[in-house]
Amino acid sequence: MQGVVLTPPLYVVLCLFFARWRLSMVSPESLAHWNFFAGLDESTLGKLASLVSQLHFPEGETIFRQGDPATTLYLLLDGWVDLTVSQDAQGVRRELLMTLTQGEVFGWSAVVEPYIYTASAQCATPVTVLALPGPDLLALFTADAQLCYTLMNRICRVIAGRLESARAQLVSLFVSR
């Protein structure tokens, strides 16, 4: 008798759980839309899509901190993310490096040794991201060297973009003197 009473709420809970899981699924086609994943074949996109989850962060939230173990690579779907570094050991003085916008990849340290974030990422607005677990992505790279080449090539360009921005910042210091 007790079992019969329990059945409807359990069913509702399962339905809700299933609905939530369905909502967080990302389709392979939607990945192909972003430059970072452009040109990959359907089966590869399918594998990537199965690793990805869509996350939301409120304004002001820190997504990761400089010096933390880098576990996740992110693609910014919506909102602005500030990248900052602290130039003192206490992390008190923070310098804004750049503000990322839609379509940009960040958290690249998740796939580059020694897997430590080199900057902090903080939401300047409410933010939606795709999150890719670094270890899963690295396992895919081990199984598919061409995918590794293609995406690491793009990761190199992402880091080169950060370098470019840091150089521009240094140039502006000289110009403003």
Partner 1 sequence: MISPELLRRFPLFGGLTIEQINVLAMAAEEITVGKGYWFFHQDEELHDLYLVLEGQVGIVMELPRQEVVTSTIGPDDVFGWSGLVPPHETTAGAKALTPCRVVRFDCQRIRSAFPSDWQFGCLMMEKMAQVIRERLRDLRMEALPAYVQ
Question: According to CB under 8 A, which residues from 44 to 63 bind partner 1?
Answer: none
Smallest distance, partner 1 to C-beta of residue 171, A: 7
For 90-121, give one letter per residue: b (16+ CB within 10 A) or e.
Answer: eeeebeebbebeeebbbbbbbbbeeeebebbb
Q: Residues 74, 134: contact at Cβ < 8 Å? A: no
Smallest distance, partner 1 to C-beta of residue 20, A: 35
CA angle 133, 136, 139 (to 5 degrees): 150
Nearer to partner 1, 53 or 84 (CB): 84
Counting residues that bind partner 1 (by CB under 8 A) gives 33
Structure tokens at 25: 């699924």
Q: In angstroms, how far is the first alpha carbon of the chain from the final one?
A: 82
Does 15 help bind partner 1 (rule: CB under 8 A)? no
Other Cβ atoms less than 10 A from the Cβ of 3: the count is 7
Smallest distance, partner 1 to C-beta of residue 169, A: 6
Nearer to partner 1, 92 or 163 (CB): 163
Does 32 help bind partner 1 (rule: CB under 8 A)? no
Smallest distance, partner 1 to C-beta of residue 160, A: 6
Question: According to CB under 8 A, which residues from 138 to 177 bind partner 1?
Answer: 141, 145-146, 148-149, 152-153, 155-157, 159-160, 162-164, 166-167, 169-171, 173-174
Helix (H) or strand (E) holding 106: strand 105-106
Handedness of CA 44, 50, 55, 61 (dihedral sign): negative
C-alpha of 75 from chain center: 4
Question: According to CB under 8 A, which residues from 81 to 140 bind partner 1?
Answer: 85, 87, 95, 97, 108-109, 111-113, 118-119
**Residues forming the site for partner 1 (CB under 8 A):** 85, 87, 95, 97, 108-109, 111-113, 118-119, 141, 145-146, 148-149, 152-153, 155-157, 159-160, 162-164, 166-167, 169-171, 173-174
